[in-house]
Amino acid sequence: MSKSPFDKFIIEKFKREIEPQEVLLDSLAQKKEREIGISGKKLETPISQKVFRIVWAGIVVLFFIFFGRTFQLQIIEGKTFTELSQRNKFIVKTIRAERGVIYDKNFEQLVFNKPSFNFICSGKLMIENIDHQTLLKLKTSPEEYPGCEVEDNTVREYLSGFLFAHLIGYQRQMGEMAGLEEYYNNILESKAGNIQVERDARGNFISQKVASEPESGNNLILWLNSGLQKKIAASLESAITRLGAKGGAAVALNPKTGGVMALFSYPSFDNNLFSQSLSAEQWQKLQANAGDPLYNRAISGRYLIGSTIKPLVASAVLQEKIIDPEKEIYCGGKIVIPNPWDSDNPTIKKDWDVHGWSNIKKAIAESCNVYFYTVGGGYGEQKGLGPTKIKNYLELFGWGEFTGIDLPGESQGFIPDKEWKKNTLGINWWDGDTYNLSIGQGYLLITPLEVASSFAAIANGGKLLKPQAVYQIVDSQKNIIINFQPEVIRENFIDPENLQIVREGMRQAVTGKNSLHASSVILNSLPVPAAAKTGTAEVGGDYRNNWVTVFAPYDDPQIVLTILVEKVEGDRAAALPIAREVLDWYFSTLDKDTQ
């Protein structure tokens, strides 16, 4: 075998470092390699001191890293990890408490708490209100859904949801609320409790204890008469369907307390849809409904009012001594207002009929426009109230302001004036505007609740009361926590003798006494004497808003009922027959209950 030119260099370089025995061993190794067919050559050398030093330094560095990390975990962050360990050892579970429920005045329960189950994954809601079949699958095969669990819950269940939806409202699991559920949430809301569960290192149960007790929400007792509400809903729906009207609303108040005996808006909706997983399809259907069922017409709708205004204007006329109550004004079916710029083209304001000589009672009973044109805006030698005083007195009766009812979403009505017309429409206020305002036409907009509240003040002798839906707050044992007292907004703004004259005019509208054209005689067949005022307001084309407000019994009023039927075609009576049907049922039922 030829020698490599590097062999000599290698031998010379390492001759002082290779011991004799190493040479011998290498020789033996080479011989062995030739025997087994290995042709490669190998030269073994000892590990240098430099390598030892590097390895040793590495060991020292690793030691200090380990020591430093141990110091950090045990000394610096020891408290934090101890707390985390305790958290892993102790799990806090929530004890749910029942939300308060709602009853009507006779303790008929209208709202319930229904058991429900949610599917929770990684602490987040995945599916709410799971059905029974899904619940069984999740309970029997939990291993298929790691990190997930079934959570016990409750949802609100509403009795006859369609009937009470706009009053009671709803509560959704996601937090959205409406109606009484929203307004009294802090009363109804429960307070959850906690259970502390102890586990070992493997997660096995050791023990548990109650850390804090759950507290159920308190309950609401309403002024609501649910039977009256059902009757109003049935009668209003039937009439609106038969007449092809757009919608309607009804409000019944106790004139002694301001308590809301009934409040209904049509069309309505089922509030159970919102509390128990409203689907996208159901939501789209509600939104597509031209009748706007989610809209609470009773407290949020603002409408042209028509002749319903006349008892309020009459009260102002008497209070301001504009005219003696026995003085008669002749109604020939119209008034003619001279045109100062064109004598051949006067303004003519018509009445719906010829009423002849009329005093203020007959004018209320027959709803005589000419009389109220005259005392409202002035005509001939008769002085009128004028628009400023009309507005001031309407505001005293609560028109154009919030009533303060314990419900969210209330609107306030609107009373026009000279400044508004100039600033908004850019034109001056004319005498014709005052005549229109005197009979409830023009730009005036009022809610059904404002109407009912103002007539309650006429019925009770002059107290404008705050409407209240809730009568009492009670605990789970029905012990009274709060007993709401009537709240007077204002009183004594109309003298009692003047209000009595107005009431007599409304009574005459029912009896027909001294009136050939009394507006509400169909109510004279009720089981008790009643007083009423109707109203009709043109809303475009051949459509009208149809109103009536009734209080009864006349001598000791227990109920004020306002009915609105929206957008009735033609002159067909709509609201008045509904009021008769409802009040006939109410007082007939009342008589049976007291026997």
Q: What is the mean pLDDT of each run of 10 residues along the chain (595 residues)?
A: 45 47 53 57 60 76 70 63 57 79 96 78 62 60 64 84 96 88 96 75 68 87 98 97 95 98 97 85 86 96 96 98 96 88 84 93 96 95 96 98 97 96 95 95 96 98 98 94 97 97 98 89 97 94 94 98 95 93 94 50
Rounded distance between C-alpha atoms, residue 549 and residue 526, angstroms: 15
Helix, strand, coil shares of the chain, percent, nearest 5, are 40, 25, 35
Check if CATH label 1.20.120.1750 holds for domain 226-594.
no
- 5 upstream amide cis, omega within 30 of 0: no
User: Rounded to whole angstroms, how far apart are CA atoms 329 and 371?
Assistant: 6
pLDDT value at position 266? 97
Which alpha helices (H) appear in 206-270, and where do they start and end? 226-243
Note the pLDDT of residue 279: 79
96 contacts: CB under 8 Å, gap ≥ 6: 152, 153, 154, 190, 192, 214
Cα separation, 429 vs 417, in Å, equals 8
Alpha-carbon distance of 391 to 316, in angstroms, equals: 10
Residue 282, pLDDT score: 86
Identify whether 408 is preceded by a cis peptide bond (ω within 30 of 0). Answer: no
Check residue 27 and give its pLDDT: 58
Describe the crossing of helices 496-511 and 448-460 by its angle, rounded to 10 degrees: 110
- Beta-carbon contacts of 248 under 8 Å, excluding residues fewer than 6 positions away, are 236, 239, 240, 265, 266, 297, 563, 564, 565, 566, 575
Element (H, E) at 208: strand 205-212
Structure tokens at 428: 């001056």
Q: What is the phi/psi pair of residue 134, to 5°?
A: -65, -40
Tokens of 15: 């001759």
| pLDDT at residue 595, rounded to an integer | 36
DSSP of 129-188, one letter per residue?
A: S--HHHHHHHHH-GGGSTTEEEEEEEEEEETTHHHHHHHH-EE-TTS-EEHHHHHTHHHH
CA-wise closest residue to 101 among 473, 352, 420, 403: 473
Could you count the other beta carbons within 10 Å of the beta carbon of residue 538?
12
Q: What is the pLDDT of residue 53?
A: 77
pLDDT for position 284? 87
d(CA 578, CA 412): 26
Q: Sign of torsion, CA 363 365 366 367? A: positive
Q: Rounded distance, CA 427 to CA 574, Å?
A: 36
Using only C-alpha atoms, what is the Rg of the chain?
A: 43
CB-based contact 476:498 (threshold 8 Å): no
DSSP for 526-574?
SSS--EEEEEEEE-STTEEEEEEEEEESSSS--EEEEEEEEEEETT---
**Type of residue found at 429:** W
What's the start-to-end Cα distance of the chain, in Å?
A: 137
Provide the 8-state DSSP code for 306: G
Phi, psi of 171, rounded to the nearest 5 degrees = -130, 125
What is the edge-to-edge ordering of all strands in the sheet holding 148-158? 124-127, 111-121, 148-158
- What is the C-alpha separation between 256 and 556, in angstroms, rounded? 10
DSSP element (H, E) containing 120: strand 111-121
CB 387, CB 429: distance < 8 Å = yes
| Cα 550 from Cα 460, distance rounded (Å) | 13
Contact predicate 367/310, CB 8 Å: yes
Q: Shortest CA distance to 395 belongs to which of 264, 490, 275? A: 490
In this predicted structure, what is the pLDDT of residue 9?
A: 41
Task: Record the pTM.
Answer: 0.81
On the CB side of 540, CA atoms within 13 Å amount to 3
The three-state DSSP-derived secondary structure of 461-520 is: CCEEECCECEEEEECCCCCEEEECCCCEEEECCCCHHHHHHHHHHHHHHHHCCCCCCCCC
Amino acid letter, residue 48: S
Tokens 């009574």 belong to: 507
Contact assessment for residue 433 and residue 407, using Cβ atoms and an 8 Å cutoff: no
pLDDT at 495: 97
10 Å Cβ neighbour count for 579?
Answer: 27
CB 435 within 8 A of CB 377: yes
* Residue located via tokens 């004018």: 363
pLDDT of 89 reads: 60
Q: What pLDDT shows up at residue 11?
A: 43
The Cα–Cα gap between 443 and 415 comes to 7
Residue pair 512/524 in contact (Cβ under 8 Å)? The answer is yes
Q: Which pLDDT belongs to residue 8?
A: 46
Instruction: List, in sequence order, the alpha helices (H) in 276-430.
Output: 280-288, 297-300, 310-319, 360-366, 369-377, 387-396, 418-425
